[in-house]
Structure 1
Amino acid sequence: MASTTTSKFVRVCEDVEIELSLTVPAGGIDEKTPSLIFLHIWGGSSKTFGSVIEILSPYYPTIGVSLRGWGASTGPDEPTAYKVTDFASDVEFVIRELNLKSVVLVGHSMGGKISMAIAGRHLLPAGVLRGLALVGPAPSGPVQLPDPSMKDAQVHAFDNMDNAEGVIRTVLSAPGNLADEVIKAVAEDMVRGSRWAKYSWPAYGMEDDITHLFEHIDVPVVVLAGEKDMLEPVGRMRTDIRDKINNMPHGRANLVVVEGSGHLIPVEKPKEVADAIKQFLQML
């Protein structure tokens, strides 16, 4: 089986245009088959999930999103316009604009936090959002860094290729998982981001508290945790995401530990991520 890929831009407002990479299985799909919407990490783009999408696209329609200010997407020239809820509003607009009737959000790190916000806001038509696949998601409350000095370092992490590649090698990935050319490609996305998109996450996005939205998630969830993830370790994914969801009245969450992976789980272990998403979708 194969799929066809197209690129599309959706204009949300005068200064926000969202880049999308869309795939459709060559053999067509059942109308009940959900579209998979991929929301990337801080510093990513629609390409971040590329290897995962390649595996899943023969079976499911997919939409790789470049969030405002990342990839080829535009965003406001305004430092405070990159909050978690701003990103969430853009994605909700795209879902309505594409007239999607059934979607599963696949969110990585910052994209996971955005996915949780969308699920908790309940602004999509009833029944459209079928589930969440949260890949090393940032927490609903403030991010807990292993070393407080890392926050200051993050402000300049994507200033240039050397900084970005250093962050990928020492913080974001497990040793030996990524080839040099892959590290370079990921770093190019990071450096390419707009000024305020790069600034926003360490400046205030990490501190965005969406706990009041997280507590209203009522769709099935699978949480993917990297075994060697320093930023969002397995223990925290278990207690702060999976267990908290399962303790809510309508909570339904499972945890999958991706062996040998650091924080860049979709890039380091795309097959394992795709397999976990497939299994999750079969249970919906």
Structure 2
Amino acid sequence: MTTKMLTIRGIDTHIAKFGEEQLPAIVLLHGFTGSTATWQQTIEELAVDYYVVAVDLIGHGKTEAPEKMNRYRMEEQIEDLNEVLQKLEITNPILLGYSMGGRVALGYTTTYPDKVKSLVLESSSPGLRTSEQQLARRTADAKLAERIEQQGMIEFVNFWQEIPLFHSQKKLSDSQQQAVRNERLNQRPIGLANSLRGIGTGSQPSYWQALEQLSLPVLLLTGSEDEKFEMIAQDMMKSLPNAQHETIKDAGHAIHVEKPQQFATMIKSYLKTV
């Protein structure tokens, strides 16, 4: 593994690279409260066959967390990713995104469809369909952002790890649960708060109508215990012209954390067919 800081459109951005650069490239984008560290077990499986690049998204991990909320918006993060790929001289990569990172990966692919070989979305969505849904979500995210800033990381992480979306992680070993907790605690309040305000599901554009224009291969991965995103993936399948949906049993939202080997094996098997 090699790590480096790149200045991307004025933002110090942390990148981790694994494997041989002549192999096909796969770029990993983590979820909210995550970082490059979240992918450790997945990378061990993928780096045998792929050149793997993991990115700390703005406000997360070791990447800079600016105070201006507008810098976190989807269109900004799409252009950041575009410059990351240009500076690393990566062309036509496979994009793998989890949750928030999946939304960035999808946003990038709808903006630059000719620059992506294939797309793997783990527990992710194209956003919300209606302006009413978006407003309700923006309001909820704004309240959560204020809570993070006012109460600090420990109080927020205590709350966040108990939301229903992550109940299946209670099955993880104590050391695995502590690793997830530590990753969250290492974030900065301003980075998380501005991510909620700038690129929350209610703030980003809705990509539902753009799905039918994506002709590249798309793999949707969801956990059987994550009913909300199972249903979202099933809805996405109705619009995507070249997609496959796989469910991993006994897994929740963060499949790569709960079932890393099965997750990586399924991705590698799929990519051999496209």
The alignment's TM-score, normalised by the length of structure 1, stands at 0.82
SS of the residue 1:80 aligns to: helix
Structure 1 distance, partners of 2:233, 2:63, is 30
Equivalent residue, structure 2, for 1:229: 226
Q: Does 1:46 align with 2:42?
A: no
Equivalent residue, structure 1, for 2:234: 238
Structure 1 distance, partners of 2:184, 2:69, is 17
Change (3 A) 1:150 1:228: farther
Shift in Å, 1:178: 1.9
Shift in Å, 1:151: 4.6
Equivalent residue, structure 2, for 1:119: 109
Change (3 A) 1:114 1:175: closer
Paired letter, 1:9: M
Shift in Å, 1:188: 2.7
Paired letter, 2:118: G
- CA-to-partner distance for each residue in 1:179-206, whole Å, 9 max, x for gaps? 2332232233323333343113433521
Contact kept? 1:107, 1:134, Cα under 8 Å: yes
Structure 2 distance, partners of 1:213, 1:150, is 26
SS of the residue 1:235 aligns to: helix
Contact kept? 1:19, 1:66, Cα under 8 Å: yes
Which of 102, 116, 120 is the matching residue for 1:133? 120
Map 1:105-254 → 2, pairs under 5 A: 105-122=95-112, 126=114, 128-141=115-128, 151=141, 154-155=144-145, 156=147, 159-173=152-166, 174=168, 176-204=170-198, 205-207=200-202, 208-211=204-207, 213-229=210-226, 232-239=228-235, 241-245=236-240, 251-254=241-244
- CA-to-partner distance for each residue in 1:91-137, whole Å, 9 max, x for gaps? 111111111123100000011111111111027xx4x4110000001
The alignment's TM-score, normalised by the length of structure 2, stands at 0.85
- CA-to-partner distance for each residue in 1:59-117, whole Å, 9 max, x for gaps? 21101110011110013220222112222211111111111123100000011111111
Map 1:11-160 → 2, pairs under 5 A: 11-14=7-10, 16-25=11-20, 31=22, 33-122=23-112, 126=114, 128-141=115-128, 151=141, 154-155=144-145, 156=147, 159-160=152-153
SS of the residue 1:51 aligns to: helix
Deviates further, 38-47 or 184-193: 184-193
Structure 2 distance, partners of 1:11, 1:214, is 32
Change (3 A) 1:193 1:153: same
Contact kept? 2:170, 2:177, Cα under 8 Å: no
Equivalent residue, structure 2, for 1:269: 259
Instruction: Work out the percentage of aligned pairs sharing the same amino acid.
Output: 21
Structure 2 distance, partners of 1:262, 1:37, is 22
SS of the residue 1:95 aligns to: helix
Contact kept? 1:116, 1:214, Cα under 8 Å: no
Contact kept? 2:148, 2:193, Cα under 8 Å: no
The aligned length equals: 263
Shift in Å, 1:282: 0.3
Contact kept? 1:39, 1:67, Cα under 8 Å: yes
Aligned-residue Cα RMSD (Å) equals 2.7
Shift in Å, 1:166: 4.2
